[in-house]
Amino acid sequence: MNIAVVGGGTRCKRLIEVTERHTFEEIDPRVVAVADIKENAPGLIKAKSKGLFVTRDYNDFFSRQDIDLIIELTGDMDIYNDILEKKKKHVRAISDATAQLFYEIARISALQKKTDQELQETRARYKAIINELIQEDVMVIAYDYRVMDINDSLLNKLGLQRRDVIGRHCYEITHRQSQPCSGKDHPCPLVKTLKTEKSSRTTHTHLDKDNKKIIYSISTYPMIENGDVIGAIEISRDITGDINMQKAMMQQEKLASIGRLSAGVAHEINNPLTTILTTAMLIQEDLDPEDPNFEELETITNETLRCRKIVTSLLDFARQSRPVKKENDINGVIKECLVLTKKQAAFKGLSLTAELADNIPLLYIDKGQIQQAIINLILNAIEATEAGGSISIGTDYNRHRRLVDVEISDTGRGIREDDLGKIFDPFFTTKDSGNGLGLAITHGIIEQHDATINVFSKPGRGTTFTIKFGLPPGENNDS
């Protein structure tokens, strides 16, 4: 489409530039002629520089055969009416007002396009912020508790897809419950933020995709639109590791204090116990077995021996020596433990089996201490399991994470949830005849090897203890 322009002002210049710069889908517009009585008009100068036809009299357009459209940009209706009267029938004409309307529509479209582009860029920046720059877990929550957005970090921990989360209530997603969090122990930070229009912080326990508890420090920040709070951005930081470290440090301090106390008490008690035991046995030797006092002395002897056994355990607990570490085959250590405990298991009618991986690297451990810890766990499993049950020991090597796992499982009575957090505490026991030091000693040994021990148990469904030994980074000691 060839265009002739009457009026060589700024809009004429812009029209020439637009038709040159842009590619049109339906038509191919080109300005071929410009008329203006002012020789210094911007559009006229632009047309001259492009080698286009220029004239002072628009009447020169009517004799040309190559013009399809005449655009009148002077705003003079007399000129526009004159063009309508003189132009050829196949030639169209547009007045200044019509041209101005098209210009405004084009400008609005351009602005809209720019706004859409800016919106897309803003969304891209927003996604980058919540998914890459913010390392914590993020949810955007509306005033009615519905999730408006969620970042990939939290989705991965929950094991969910975005479509499973958006539009659902936040308490359904993170707590798997049917109503909002409430109460002194589990307050909802969103409620406080909506009420005060200020940020809020609290601590919650959530469940991940494996139903494992994660302790979160949660902060909520108000989202304000037109002066009203419409929701909040919730940022959750996993502080489970920090809490566990604090607990471990408190446990170490507790063990150290109890160890010092135990050593003193044990030494003080050991001497009078020896005197009582020796005296009872000497008196017993002078009595006839049928004498009524003989059985009483037998009771004194047995109870004194039991006390000495407790004192010996106290001393073992108090003097947990630094491990003397050497390279050892953990599978070999476990096999020796099985030999030492298989009779106890068979006597009780239990199956004791092992499934040891072939690719286990050598570990830098104190063989005697680790053997003591594993035997303690096996004996506990034997005591907790009824006849006909089973105990299994397995090893595994995670080459990527450089971790060696030793897992001891039983099909016994299990441990109550309330007791799980206390089983490694000194003197805590659920046994009638236990002294509560076996697992405390085991825990100390494992920690001195820079390893970890975890327990998973359900009442009536057995118990599993998992010891994880880490290998030094970059050290290649695969067997």
Q: State the CATH number of the domain containing residue 159.
A: 3.30.450.20
* Placement of tokens 């004799």 in the chain: 63
Q: Is the confidence at residue 344, as pLDDT, over 90?
A: no
338 and 455 together in one domain: yes
Residue type, 34: V
Arithmetic mean of pLDDT, 440-469: 89
- What local confidence, expressed as pLDDT, does residue 255 receive? 63
Distance of CA 202 to the CA centre of its chain: 18
Domain of 253, CATH number, reads: 1.10.287.130
| Same-domain status, 234 and 370 | no
Least confident of 44-48, 130-134, 273-277: 130-134
Q: Is residue 13 part of a domain?
A: yes
Which domain does 201 fall in, by range?
136-238
Sign of CA dihedral 37, 43, 47, 52: negative
Show the tokens assigned to 186: 């589990």
pLDDT tops 70 at residue 113: no
Which tens digits make up the pLDDT trace of 322-335?
778 899 999 999 99
pLDDT range class, residue 458, cuts 50, 70, 90: confident
Are 37 and 72 within one domain?
yes
445 within 8 A of 413, measured Cβ to Cβ: no
Percent of the chain, pLDDT > 70? Answer: 83
Where is the domain boundary, 238, 269, 298? 238
Q: What is the pLDDT of residue 139?
A: 84
In a domain, 265, yes or no: yes
Q: How confident is the model at residue 376 (pLDDT cuts 50, 70, 90)?
A: confident
Q: How many domains is the chain built from? A: 4
pLDDT (0 to 100) of residue 133: 46
In a domain, 118, yes or no: no
Choose from 196-210, 272-286, 291-305, 398-412 the range with maximum mean pLDDT. 398-412
Q: Does residue 294 belong to any structural domain of this protein? A: yes
Are 219 and 350 in the same domain? no
Say whether both 182 and 277 belong to one domain: no
Q: Is the residue at 82 inside a domain?
A: yes
Clarify whether residues 169 and 225 are in a common domain. yes
Q: Is residue 10 part of a domain?
A: yes
How much is the pLDDT for 390?
94
Domain contains 12: yes
Q: Are 314 and 346 part of one and the same domain?
A: no
Residue 164 has a pLDDT of 86
Sign of CA dihedral 326, 331, 332, 337: positive
State the pLDDT at residue 217: 85
Which whole number is the average pLDDT over 434-451? Answer: 79
Assess whether pLDDT exceeds 60 at residue 12: yes
Percent of the chain with pLDDT over 90: 26
Helix (H/G/I), strand (E/B), else coil: 467 = strand
Check residues 459 and 321 and name the one with the higher pLDDT. Answer: 459
Sheet containing 452-457: give its strands across.
Answer: 351-355, 390-398, 403-410, 463-470, 452-457
**One domain, residues 158 and 189:** yes
Same domain, 348 and 305: no
* pLDDT confidence tier of residue 431, bands split at 50, 70 and 90: low
Read off the CATH number of the domain in which 375 is found: 3.30.565.10
Question: How confident is the model over 444-462, as a mean pLDDT?
Answer: 89
Domain boundary among 238, 268, 303: 238
Residue 286: DSSP 8-state: T
pLDDT band at 351; cut points 50, 70, 90? very high
Residues 350 and 454 in one domain: yes
Q: Which two tokens stand for residue 214?
A: 């994660």
* pLDDT for the residue numbered 117: 60
Give the pLDDT score at 111. 62
Mean pLDDT of the chain: 82
Rounded to a whole number of angstroms, the distance between the first and last alpha carbons of the chain is 81
More confident residue, 66 or 444: 66
Residue 223, classified by CB atoms within 10 Å of its CB into exposed (0-12), middle (13-18) or buried (19+), is middle
What tens digit of pLDDT does each residue of 235-248 get?
888 888 788 777 76
User: Where is the domain boundary, 290, 318, 346?
Assistant: 318
pLDDT of residue 313: 62
Model confidence at 374, in pLDDT bands (50, 70, 90)?
A: very high
Same domain, 405 and 345: yes
Q: What is the pTM of this model?
A: 0.43
**Is the pLDDT score of 35 beyond 90?**
yes
pLDDT of residue 444: 81
Report whether 277 contacts 311 (CB < 8 A): no
Neighbours of 170 (CB within 10 A): 23
Q: Residue 211's pLDDT is what?
A: 72
Q: Do both 291 and 338 map to the same domain?
A: no
Overall average pLDDT of the 392-407 stretch: 92
